[in-house]
Amino acid sequence: ELSPRLRCLSPAPGSLWNLHKMITKTTGRNALLHYSSYGCYCGWGGKGQPKDATDRCCQRHDTCYNNLLRGVTPPPCKLGLTLGSPLPAGRSSWCAQLSCECDRSLALCLKQNIWTYSKRYLFYPKHRC
């Protein structure tokens, strides 16, 4: 169970399972059911204009991970083979902490904007983004 500060104590920070647990614990909603295919940015890939504040949280999460992968925040991380989570290019603890912070920020953002969640954007067709 996550601490009140949402620290990443999992042995595999940045993993999709850890992200799922963090979002579910923070929002009180099952992450897989509510956020894995929402709007234009929640779920795999992302493009176009976010549909609402909830979708903007996911857009910011995508940007955070992309910055890690491009090395905007040193040291750079490289895309791993484990479900697309950033892996370290050098010091694992630094990269893991940064990817954990991306995930933590997403969970908090989704909680703060839970009132903007709309069922009409669940399973929103990506070609309309």
Active site residue 34: no
- The annotation status of 62 as a binding-site residue, yes or no, is yes
41 is in an annotated binding site: yes
Instruction: Check the annotation: does 80 bind a ligand.
Output: no
Q: Looking at the chain, which runs of residues are DSSP E strands?
A: 77-79, 86-88
Q: Which residues of 77-113 are buried (b: 16+ CB within 10 A; e: fewer)?
A: beeeeeeebbbbbeeeeebbebbbbbbbebbbbbeeb
Residue 55 catalytic?
A: no
**From 34, 52, 55, 103, active-site residue:** 103
Of 34, 52, 55, 61, the catalytic one is 61
Catalytic residues: 61, 103
Binding site, by residue number, is 41, 43, 45, 62
Binding site for Ca(2+), by residue number, is 41, 43, 45, 62
